[in-house]
Structure 1
Amino acid sequence: MNIHFPTLFDASGRTLSAGDDYLYELVEQVLFTSPGERVNLPDFGSGLLQLPFVPNSPELAAATQLTVQGALQKWLSGYLKVIAVETTSVEATLKVTVTYAPLDTGIPQVKTFQHGGNS
C-alpha cells in the first residue's frame, strides 16, 4: 500500500490525501486491511488477504465478491457507490477489480488492485 503522508485536512476537519487518487487509496485500505488489524475498528477491512491460501472454487469467488462489496459499501458509502467487484486468485497473486462511482461526480471508475506476486 502506498498511502500519502502527511495527512491533509479540509476546512471541515475531514482528512484528505494529496492528489486525485484519494478514493483509490480508501478502497485500497478497505481491501487490504484484515479484520482485527485496527485497534479501534476491529471489524474494519475485508479479509481479502486470506484468499491466496484458500483453494479456488466458483463458490469461493462468489462469496468473496459479496464480502468485498459489502465491506466497501459499509466503510465507504459516504464517498462512493460500488457498482461491481471481480476477484481472481492465481498462485500467490490476488487481483481485485472494483468498479465504483464517486458520489460527487457519479462517473464510473474501474480500478484494479493487486497483492502478492509482482505487485
Structure 2
Amino acid sequence: MNLAYPYQYDPRGRTAETDDNTHLRDLIEQVLFTAPGERVMLPDFGCGVAQLVFAPNAFELASATQVLIQSALQRWLGALIVVQNVNVEATDATLSVTVTFRSVQDSQWQVQTFQQGAGGAA
C-alpha cells in the first residue's frame, strides 16, 4: 500500500493508504499541478500547469503544454508509468488534462482526467 495524497488520516486515526492505481493517479496530479520552484528540496519538480489557466487559449499553447506535460511525466515518473497520450483543453477558466498511461508493472492502460480551475483544482 501507498500513502494517500493529499496526506490524511483513515477512520482509525492512522495514516491513510491507497492502492497502486490511485497512487499513480496521485503522483501524476502532483507532477501536473506543482509549479517548478515550489518544492525546496526538488526545485525542478513539476510542470506548473496551474499557471496556464489564465493564459490565452491558442492551438500553439495547447501543443506546447502537451509536450511540457509529457516530458515532465517522463522525467519524474518514467520509472513507474508509460505515457501514451496527453490531451490538454482549455474551456473558459478551466484547464483539463487527460493522460493515457499504463504502469510499467502491468499492461492495462488507464485514462485519467485532471482539471484545474481559476480557483484551484477541481
Amino acid corresponding to residue 107 of structure 2 in structure 1: G
CA offset digits 1:42-77 (Å, max 9, x no partner): 110012111111101111111000000000000001
RMSD of aligned Cα (Å): 2.1
- State the SS of the aligned residue for 1:42: coil
Amino acid corresponding to residue 3 of structure 1 in structure 2: Y
Counterpart in 2 of 1:115?
A: 116
Counterpart in 2 of 1:70?
A: 71
- Mapped partners of 1:4, 1:46: distance in 2: 18
Q: What residue ranges of structure 2 are gaps of 5+ in the alignment?
A: 10-16
Contact 1:4–1:18 (CA under 8 A) maintained in structure 2: no
- Mapped partners of 1:108, 1:47: distance in 2: 25
Amino acid corresponding to residue 32 of structure 1 in structure 2: F
Q: What is the aligned length? A: 110
Amino acid corresponding to residue 5 of structure 2 in structure 1: I
Counterpart in 1 of 2:18?
A: 18
Contact 2:96–2:115 (CA under 8 A) maintained in structure 1: yes
Contact 2:81–2:103 (CA under 8 A) maintained in structure 1: yes
- State the SS of the aligned residue for 2:18: coil
How far 1:40 moved relative to its partner? 0.8
Counterpart in 1 of 2:14?
A: none
TM-score (norm 1): 0.84
1:31 aligns with 2:35: no
- Mapped partners of 1:71, 1:28: distance in 2: 12
Counterpart in 2 of 1:3?
A: 5
Q: What residue ranges of structure 1 are gaps of 5+ in the alignment?
A: 8-16
CA offset digits 1:6-48 (Å, max 9, x no partner): 69xxxxxxxxx42340100000000010001000111100121
- Mapped partners of 2:8, 2:104: distance in 1: 25
- Mapped partners of 1:35, 1:95: distance in 2: 19
TM-score (norm 2): 0.82
